[in-house]
Amino acid sequence: MISLKPRSILLISAIFRVGLILFGEWQDTLMEVRYTDVDYLVFSDAASLMASGQSPYKRTTYRYSPLLAFLLIPNSFISRCWGKFLFSASDLFVGLFIHIILKQRKVPDYLCTYSMLIWLFNPFTFTIGTRGNCEPIVCAMILWIIICLINGSFLQFKICVLERQSCNVVQAAFWYGLIVHFRIYPIIYALPIVIFLDPRFFRSGAKPLLSDWTSDQGKARQINSELIDKCIVCDVSKSTFTRSRILFGLISGTVFLLCTGFFFHLYGWEFLHEALLYHLTRTDPRHNFSIYFYHIYLNYERELSVLEKLISFLPQFIVQLVLILCFAKDLVFCFFVQTVAFVAFNKVITAQYFVWFFCLLPLILPWSNMKLKWKGLCCILLWMGAQTHWLLWGYLLEFKGKNVFLQLWMASLLFLAANTFILIVLIRHHNYGPVFRQHTDLKTTKTT
């Protein structure tokens, strides 16, 4: 059993990432194939445009919030690696937040350590930050929002006149508004958060009680009727407009509108089109992991009817709704399954989207009954296998010029099937439990 302290793990991860960034710089200068992601060059160019007082949208294919360009302005005068260091630092923060969240829920040390290692030493995650991709920032913010929502102790603002618990709802709302402005996809978490802010747990004057991880995870099968939120709809409608919910909605909405309004004022319609509308209406016919890419390409020359657009949106909508209604109380698991499903059913899937659920995976694994040998390993191999299979056909198409569109499309169908299967397996093996216990004697039983 590894008995590394979190501090040591973070230190080793930091040194490793610094090394990778330096290696990346070396590779860029000397080798034909660049280590740095193309997107990083886009961000840097946009940042230097912003630094010289111009609109970052003058840089074609810059489709992010101006906040990102703003964060990367030091690229122009400190070092062009500044952004990479920032993203890698966010990466480390994600590791730290994973540790904090699990410790809050009394997960044993060894599991905390494994969870941290799963994130910090996952080849996918450490390359993504060091290559200059901005997703680690998004992940860090999501995890911080989770911390704010489940924690009450050390996050209070001294100046906050509301109670401690409301302070955290305020903080969570602020970061939530910001992240939806930054990346849009976290909007799918809005409903679960609102459901999660249940007045039975979020009572004024008292910190919500976390239900802890116990070693009883997964003893005998038991259908606990109190846990099944059959009447989650009734719950929501009965006391929908509670203080926490209203506060959360108002603050996050205000932050989002303020950010959007401010940048609209600065950069006009170009900002709105590139940073927001593009993502909402994006249909890219170029090949990607999504099952829809070939359908979009074959029909690109004609305008798709409203019915067709609706049909392609329906699976996504239904899955999200059902997952929310079934799992909202177990917020972290809900976020995870929602994100996996969102990515899998999206019209465009690129590899960087996988980070969105990778950062949540270490948070749900302590509650999973699935053992690494052999079910866990099978799932990993299945997922990677389906991806590799797709990549092989993609390579033949893009780098060998063979017409393998049909085979590539079938590979993307297989990839969806693999994602669905793994999602179902994870749901089946998850020990569902609401994050919070009730304050009254009506505690939810978890063991036999």
**Site of interaction with other proteins (CB under 8 A):** 29, 41, 45, 60-61, 218-224, 227-229, 284-286, 291-292, 294-295, 297-301, 311-312, 314-315, 318-319, 322-323, 326-327, 337, 341, 344-345, 369, 371, 397-406, 409, 413, 416-417, 420, 423-424, 427-432, 446
Least distance in angstroms from the C-beta of 294 to other proteins: 5
Nearer to other proteins, 77 or 300 (CB): 300
The SS3 call for residue 2 is: coil
Give the Cα separation of 298 and 302 in Å (integer). 9
Give the Cα separation of 421 and 371 in Å (integer). 16
Q: Is cis: bond before 390, omega within 30 of 0?
A: no
Torsions phi, psi for 16 (to 5 deg): -60, -45
Query: 343: closest CA among 183, 115, 213?
Result: 183
Buried b (16+ CB within 10 A) or exposed e, 179-212: bbbbbebbebbbbbbbbbbbbbbbbeeebbebbe
Query: 170: closest CA among 179, 162, 178?
Result: 162
Least distance in angstroms from the C-beta of 41 to other proteins: 7
Give the Cα separation of 6 and 100 in Å (integer). 10
Nearer to other proteins, 41 or 67 (CB): 41
Alpha-carbon dihedral 409, 413, 416, 422, rounded to 10 degrees: -130
Least distance in angstroms from the C-beta of 351 to other proteins: 17
Nearer to other proteins, 15 or 298 (CB): 298
Nearer to other proteins, 154 or 399 (CB): 399
Whether residue 49 contacts residue 59, with contact meaning beta carbons closer than 8 Å, is answered with yes
Nearer to other proteins, 45 or 91 (CB): 45
Nearer to other proteins, 275 or 416 (CB): 416
Nearer to other proteins, 175 or 409 (CB): 409
